[in-house]
Amino acid sequence: MSRMDEWVAAACADLDLEPAQVPVPAVLDLARDVAHNVLRPGAPVTAYLLGLAVGRGADPAATAARLGELARGWSVEPGGEQPS
């Protein structure tokens, strides 16, 4: 078991969640896409948004994929501002 697996299992136990329902690779891919294509602090915020959507009934993997696609298509100007 990896350290990530241990952490997810411990966090899930604390939150009364089932670890098998946590799409770790999809969440990590989403965080990478946001950090690289939007901005680094956007990664945890986007993970939180994903959690809110899942809490409202959205499919975790499909929603992470949709947000990842949005992030990969995001274009940021060199000064860090989104073009208008």
pLDDT at 1: 78
What is the reported pTM?
0.81
Helix (H) or strand (E) holding 27: helix 24-37
pLDDT at 27: 94
pLDDT at 59: 94
Show the tokens assigned to 76.
């940021």
pLDDT at 83: 46
pLDDT at 75: 76
Averaged in consecutive runs of 10 residues, what is the pLDDT profile of the chain (84 residues)?
94 95 94 96 96 96 96 74 50
Dist. CA 74–CA 10, nearest whole Å? 34
Dist. CA 82–CA 60, nearest whole Å? 27
Q: What angle do CA 64, 53, 75 make, to 5 degrees?
A: 50
